[in-house]
Structure 1
Amino acid sequence: MGNQVGTARLLGWGNQTLKPNREEDFVEKNIGFPCRVVTGNKAVQSVFDIELFKKEEFCFGVAEVRRDFTEGICPSVSSNGKIHEKNKGFLMEVIAKAGEGIPSSTASSVLSNISKWGSTAMSDFESKLLAVAADTVLPNIFGESSSFNAEDIRLYIIGATEVRSCIVKALTSKNLDEERQAMRSIIGKIKTSERYQQLMDLGHAYGLGEAETTAQLLLPVFFNGVAGIRANLVSSFARLDTISAEDREELREEALAALKKHGGLTRESLEEMPKMESFVLEVLRACPSPMFWSTIATRPTTVEYTTDSGEHALKIKEGERVYASSYWALRDPAVFDKPEDFMWRRFLGPEGDARRKHHVIFHGRLTDTPAVNNHMCPGRDVSLSALKGSIAIFNTFFGWELQEPPVWTGTKMTRGSQPDYEVKIKSFWVQHPEDLKEIFPSHFRDIIDEADDVDDIDVLVKTKTGTYSGSGTNSNVYIRLFDDKGHQSRELQLDVWWKNDFEKGQEGQYKLKDVKVAAPIVKIELFRDGCQPDDDWYCESVSVQLNPDNSGPTYDFSVNRWIRQNDHVWLCPGGCEGPQDDVNPKDD
């Protein structure tokens, strides 16, 4: 029963089952089978020695690869010895050639997919990000004319692995006809791709036959590559919602400057986004995928390490299972200050560079280089480029509202690095159309081409200024409207000639002409300029009525916060972000 209880605990409590006391770094656990779980950062790095520890073939921790989903051939990620050297050498050359086109394909993939999304709610957003990851990676490997179906990839990912527990297998057993058909469809498209013969020739140069070469293009590319990037993209996108508007703007300004300088997403522009890189690395530290690696000791050895309780020397037996937890290694307080906090600047500057030797998400130190004689992920640089580029584009040009705030508890094993619950979009819109049009004009036309079709209408905006001392302002106040079709108005100044607007406790009415939006309004942007730097405005509420002369619909927005110099606030009907820095002065 011990193995079944161990499996149940791991599946029920995830990484929290392995939570260390930091007194020992090698702890005996049962996670479906007896093993030693390694949790300390430096101790985990000792498991990277391929002379002492080998991978468990066809295994990812408590999961194993279904062999018929790799045509019975062990994938590079879990192979060893000379076979591993051949498999990885082949993949490294494939990925090196593909990497050259990743920046441009990332931009094309993100923007082309967004052009199909619209701005309405997306309950299948994570599936849409799978299509983004696939369109980023696959054309660079198989050729631009090659087209893979995202649903086939999703089904293949579902079918490729299963839990190793016999009882869990029995309880979760299902017909996999759809998943196997999806795999056959993917293999068929691989074999008819424009670069198939080149890939076969390259595999032959590494001593791989046609079946072996195809197998290395299957699970490593579609499962580890495309699905892995998708999972980390979901986490990165969700993490943007956990940082402040000021921090997001700081990341946006850096990316926008680099994109403008180099005319788009290029290798050079990515190199000039150190803040975005630090953000992505912190996402990978806080939300690691994979969460642990499974190895077996190749011979008796003694591992020496140091913890808070002192120096240790642990004897490992030949054949003993040793599982390295990336989740807890990347939360080791000995190398990462405040490890439970998400600190996106953690990897900036000289100190941040020094921390990279402790960042082990790619099965090796970030300062190391993937090679055939180590197990470091050969797709590391491609993954980082795709993640940095995708998040830079999302954050620089677009805005969105999630259906619920993302949370990570470390207890949801099936969610891996992603938030505990599926990320779903309530609304999505172009936040900075002028910048998008300047840098990506062709994609801009595809994304908001419909904006020219909307009729000009009149809009009545009403504001209510608070009663706190100093609530009124003499600054210029502006509003921008967003509808659910992706249309957005120009900047609209709220001003009535010969009237002192926005006085304490007063309500204002502003009738605006020739506004290009349509019902329903899903978002507004409210801001003031810097003409009166210290003249802050406390706004209680805003209402927007379309076609007021014809009794059109009205949308109410609760504000209840100070709006300072160059402060931009985005609001949805019925609510807004909290007043993060209000001092809540008393009414006079």
Structure 2
Amino acid sequence: MASSSLPPPLPSSTSLTSQQSSSPPSQLPIRKMPGSYGWPLVGPLSDRLDYFWFQGPEKFFKSRSEKYKSTVFRTNIPPAFPFLGNVNPNIVAVLDVKSFSYLFDMDLVDKRDVLIGDFRPSLDFYGGIRVGVYLDTTEPKHAKVKSFAMEILKRSSEVWLRELLSNLDKFWETVESDISKNPDGGASYLIGLQRCMFNFLSTAMTGANPSVSPDIAENGWKMLDKWLAIQVIPTTKIGILQPLEEIFLHSWAYPFFLVAGDYKKLYDFISENAGDVIRLGDEEYGLTRDETVHNLLFNLGFNAYGGFSIFLPSLIGKIAGDTTGLQERLRTEVRKVCGSGSVLNFRTVNEMELVKSVVYETLRLNPPVPLQYARARDDFKISSHDAVYEVKKGELLCGYQPLVMRDASIFDDPEEFKPDRFVGETGSKLLNYLFWSNGPQTGTPSASNKQCAAKEMVTITAALIIANLFLRYDKITGDAGSIKTVVKAT
């Protein structure tokens, strides 16, 4: 069953599983869930070494799926420190689109404190507050924080476009200057891109423009990089020389004091310069100043800045490195839609079907957050395409998105980058199965679910970046780390 014969689309309600079936659940065999956790200590250690060292995350999940002949199975996911006993490594892996969708059925699963699995960094990283991403939908504070986040994005729409295009102009000018200084080597653009995204997102999301603080303008993006890194490094494969990575990076959780000074600077910057947004949190959503600022910092730093820092290099690299004629097709579409006046806005970019499809396809193959987690509220039955399995209350479900989004039952030639995959009627139906945002692309973020509040802003921002690129240039060459050449628009 490929994209030409799709399963029914996901329902629009919060219950995603009842219709997510290529055949009715009653027709699927009930199977004992394969896999095991192994001997205490030995099993988790063996899986940890496979995950971080001998296999890597993708091969770790893929090899076990092949071994058990199932996309649903029990295994261990490496915690930061398996010998201390305060992190449970046991998970139920869900590696196909159908079983993965259960992670977003809030009637069945709990999202409390599972952003990075059973491991949660110290609350000191968030001012001692459990920010919105760590709250389950049943917790009263969740609705307030999520509604606040969505309202901020709604109110920022007028500023968003202006700030994005203004900062992109500075970014591309820097790239051009660097290329002129080093025509043979090109320009490494990752630092410039992060600086661009930080300045744009800070102003658009919080109203705090980094230009008012020389220190934040120069170093704010670095502060966020460090704050992000020491939270996630204990559970992330870095790829440096082993066993040094295991010994020094994956054996303990890093203390907050390493970035406490930087975080205070960012907190003070938001607190002093985001007055309108802070008043909104207080007056309309009943949030304290601390709750508002720490949630703003998390949304800015972890969700927005962190996500774009991972996703955009993949997008730019795919376009810059293409040799199939994709750039010419994108350029033609962008300039046709924008017309002779080169008018770029939310309306015009929404008409660029190929541009949006390229964004979706990049998100499919390179999701910014590869691992998604949820905990079973009670015992329930979970379906893959082939069978039904019993999940026990309290079990932690884990989906590895890079494999889920290459489900051959849903996507034709799933390993291949197809820029037109999401074009047309058939392509639009596939958006039901694109899950990069903690829910389907056709879903709607709300206070009752955990879907990314900025889902639409992320995709439209990425599309705006592509469109801006092809209004400015006829062609670029490069990869996910550097741009070799640019040919200005004629």
The bucket for the TM-score relative to the shorter chain is: 0.7 to 0.9
- Change in CA separation of 1:128 and 1:146 when aligned onto 2, cut-off 3 Å: closer
Which residue in 1 is equivalent to 2:260?
A: 180
- Change in CA separation of 1:15 and 1:190 when aligned onto 2, cut-off 3 Å: same
Q: Which one of the candidate residues 247, 268, 292 is aligned to 2:371?
A: 292
Which residue in 2 is equivalent to 1:134?
A: 198
Matched, 1:376 2:432: no
Task: Return structure 1 stretches of 4+ with deviation > 4 angstroms.
Answer: 121-124, 164-178
Q: Which one of the candidate residues 8, 11, 17 is aligned to 2:60?
A: 17
SS in 1 for 2:174: coil
Structure 2 gap segments, 5+ residues each: 1-41, 79-88, 237-245
- Assess if the C-alpha contact under 8 Å between 1:270 and 1:389 holds in 2: yes
CA distance in 1, matches of 2:208, 2:131: 25
Which residue in 1 is equivalent to 2:72?
A: 26
Structure 1 gap segments, 5+ residues each: 407-422, 435-588
Of structures 1 and 2, the one scoring higher in RCO (CA 8 A, sep 6+) is: 2
Q: Which one of the candidate residues 54, 66, 69 is aligned to 2:125?
A: 69
CA distance in 2, matches of 1:192, 1:47: 38
Q: Which one of the candidate residues 134, 138, 154 is aligned to 2:225?
A: 154
Count of paired positions: 409
CA distance in 2, matches of 1:332, 1:240: 24
CA distance in 2, matches of 1:258, 1:128: 29
- Assess if the C-alpha contact under 8 Å between 2:471 and 2:489 holds in 1: no
Which residue in 2 is equivalent to 1:397?
A: 472
CA offsets 1:492-512 (integer angstroms, 9 cap, x no match): xxxxxxxxxxxxxxxxxxxxx
Kindly state the Cα deviation for residue 214 of structure 1 after the two structures are TM-superposed.
1.2
- The 5 A counterparts of 1:270-419 are 270-307=349-386, 312-398=387-473, 399-402=475-478
Matched, 1:112 2:167: no
- Assess if the C-alpha contact under 8 Å between 2:76 and 2:90 holds in 1: yes
Which structure carries more strand by proportion? 1
Deviates more, 1:346-355 or 1:385-394: 385-394
Deviates more, 1:326-335 or 1:121-130: 121-130
CA distance in 1, matches of 2:192, 2:119: 25
- Change in CA separation of 1:14 and 1:170 when aligned onto 2, cut-off 3 Å: closer
CA distance in 1, matches of 2:256, 2:379: 41
CA distance in 2, matches of 1:35, 1:168: 25
SS in 2 for 1:377: coil
- Assess if the C-alpha contact under 8 Å between 1:88 and 1:378 holds in 2: yes
Which residue in 2 is equivalent to 1:251?
A: 330
Q: Which one of the candidate residues 270, 280, 286 is aligned to 1:190?
A: 270
Kindly state the Cα deviation for residue 58 of structure 1 after the two structures are TM-superposed.
5.8
Highest CA radius of gyration, 1 or 2?
1
Amino acid at match of 1:14: P
Matched, 1:99 2:145: no
CA distance in 1, matches of 2:321, 2:187: 20
Amino acid at match of 1:252: R
CA offsets 1:28-50 (integer angstroms, 9 cap, x no match): 11112111010110111122111
Amino acid at match of 1:189: F
CA offsets 1:472-499 (integer angstroms, 9 cap, x no match): xxxxxxxxxxxxxxxxxxxxxxxxxxxx
Q: Which one of the candidate residues 123, 140, 148 is aligned to 1:90?
A: 148
TM-score by length of 2: 0.77
CA distance in 2, matches of 1:231, 1:335: 25
Amino acid at match of 1:46: Y
- Change in CA separation of 1:343 and 1:91 when aligned onto 2, cut-off 3 Å: same
Kindly state the Cα deviation for residue 306 of structure 1 after the two structures are TM-superposed.
2.6
- The 5 A counterparts of 1:482-497 are none
SS in 1 for 2:311: helix
CA distance in 1, matches of 2:255, 2:291: 27
- Change in CA separation of 1:327 and 1:386 when aligned onto 2, cut-off 3 Å: same
CA distance in 2, matches of 1:356, 1:318: 31
CA distance in 1, matches of 2:124, 2:186: 34
* Alignment RMSD: 2.5
Which residue in 1 is equivalent to 2:103?
A: 47
CA distance in 1, matches of 2:119, 2:167: 31
- Assess if the C-alpha contact under 8 Å between 1:136 and 1:386 holds in 2: no
- Assess if the C-alpha contact under 8 Å between 1:31 and 1:62 holds in 2: no
CA distance in 2, matches of 1:61, 1:264: 44
SS in 2 for 1:294: strand
Amino acid at match of 1:39: L
- Change in CA separation of 1:354 and 1:41 when aligned onto 2, cut-off 3 Å: same
Amino acid at match of 2:304: G
CA distance in 2, matches of 1:103, 1:289: 22
CA distance in 1, matches of 2:253, 2:382: 40
Deviates more, 1:90-99 or 1:167-176: 167-176
Deviates more, 1:356-365 or 1:158-167: 158-167
CA distance in 2, matches of 1:18, 1:157: 25
Q: Which one of the candidate residues 308, 312, 320 is aligned to 1:229?
A: 308
- Change in CA separation of 1:262 and 1:154 when aligned onto 2, cut-off 3 Å: farther
- Change in CA separation of 1:432 and 1:124 when aligned onto 2, cut-off 3 Å: closer
CA distance in 2, matches of 1:327, 1:27: 17
Amino acid at match of 1:300: D
% identical equivalent positions: 19
Which residue in 2 is equivalent to 1:143?
A: 207
- Assess if the C-alpha contact under 8 Å between 1:103 and 1:385 holds in 2: no
Kindly state the Cα deviation for residue 62 of structure 1 after the two structures are TM-superposed.
7.1
Kindly state the Cα deviation for residue 219 of structure 1 after the two structures are TM-superposed.
1.4
CA distance in 1, matches of 2:254, 2:432: 43
Which residue in 2 is equivalent to 1:38?
A: 94
Amino acid at match of 1:4: L
Deviates more, 1:131-140 or 1:355-364: 131-140
Amino acid at match of 1:235: S
TM-score by length of 1: 0.65
- Assess if the C-alpha contact under 8 Å between 1:63 and 1:162 holds in 2: no
- Assess if the C-alpha contact under 8 Å between 1:55 and 1:294 holds in 2: yes
Kindly state the Cα deviation for residue 157 of structure 1 after the two structures are TM-superposed.
2.2
Kindly state the Cα deviation for residue 281 of structure 1 after the two structures are TM-superposed.
0.3
CA distance in 2, matches of 1:4, 1:60: 18
- Change in CA separation of 1:114 and 1:375 when aligned onto 2, cut-off 3 Å: same
Kindly state the Cα deviation for residue 305 of structure 1 after the two structures are TM-superposed.
3.6
CA distance in 2, matches of 1:171, 1:23: 32
CA offsets 1:6-35 (integer angstroms, 9 cap, x no match): 223222312221113394232111112111
Kindly state the Cα deviation for residue 319 of structure 1 after the two structures are TM-superposed.
0.6
CA distance in 1, matches of 2:443, 2:476: 37
- Assess if the C-alpha contact under 8 Å between 1:259 and 1:265 holds in 2: yes
